Amino acid sequence: MEVEAKFKLKDGVLEKIEKIARFLEEKEEYDLYFSHPCRDFAKTDEALRLRVENRIKMTYKGPKVDNETKTREEVNLLIDSFENAVRLLEFLGFKKFKSIRKKRRIYELDRAIICVDKVEGLGDFLEIELRVPEEKERIFEIARILGYSREESIRLSYLELLERLNWKV
């Protein structure tokens, strides 16, 4: 279970993070999302993704289970080949759906992970993440320190945000 809250990056927040959190790494992430052969992921609120960064990962994301955060089941698989994963999934009837590119700066603060994301075509965001479902309140406590109220939490994924942006265009 991944407990996560997302916020729009506001002025001065990055500076605050740089001051109080420990910088871990910066990386580029390329995400390719797939549609299911016989299930509408948009309706079931699920996702299947291949991610390329230093490593290559296949990830299933289950439906969100909390009404304030992006908390959801997540299963990760490290794999050895992006190309073979695409071929395998396509043979099984999954279809390439949408890709997302972002630059991600990762910090650690009080056992929580803070990601500052520059998402291509979408803008700058902040994700605070914990692997302990019981400690949701700690995420909002960190958010408060950074200047966010819990109402500012965005439950939509980058994929969903990009979809909505397309609808408006």
Q: Which is nearer to a copy of itself, 88 or 156 (CB)?
A: 88
48 binds a copy of itself per the rule CB under 8 A: yes
Q: By three-state DSSP, how is residue 83 classified?
A: helix
Reading the block at residue 60, the tokens are 């299933």
40 binds a copy of itself per the rule CB under 8 A: no
Q: Which is nearer to a copy of itself, 81 or 166 (CB)?
A: 81
62 binds a copy of itself per the rule CB under 8 A: yes
Q: How far is the CB of 80 from a copy of itself (least distance, A)?
A: 4
102: closest CA among 28, 20, 8, 11?
28
Q: Measure the CA dihedral 46/49/138/132, to 10°.
A: 80
117: closest CA among 1, 3, 7, 4?
7
2, 30, 45, 60: which one binds a copy of itself (CB under 8 A): 60
Q: How far is the CB of 95 from a copy of itself (least distance, A)?
A: 13
